[in-house]
Chain A
Amino acid sequence: MHKKICYILLFIFLTSCGESFDSVKRGLTGAKKNSTDEFLVKKKDPLILPPDFENLPTPDDTEITLDEASIFENTLEPEEEEGTKSNSVEKSILKKIQSK
Chain B
Amino acid sequence: MKKIIIVLFIFIMDRISKIYLLNLEVSGTEVDFYINSFLNFYLVWNSGIGFGLIPMDSNIYYHAMTTIIIIVNLALIYFLFRSRGSYVYLLSIIIGGSLGNLFDRLYYHAVPDFIDFHLGNYHWFIFNIADIFITLGIIGLLLIELTKKEKISKNA
Contact = CB atoms under 8 A, between A and B. Distances in A.
A72 interface: no
A15 B124 contact: no
Chain A: number of interface residues, binned into ranges:
20 to 34
A54 B108 CA distance: 44
A4 interface: yes
A16 B125 CA distance: 9
A12 B49 contact: yes
B69 A14 contact: yes
A3 B134 CA distance: 16
Contact of A20 (B48, B94, B127, B135): B48
B134 A18 contact: no
Interface string A1-42: 001100110111111111111111011001111000000000
Contacts of B55: 20-21
A30 B120 CA distance: 8
With most chain B CB atoms within 10 A of its CB, the pick from A10, A15, A18, A24 is A15
A20 B52 contact: yes
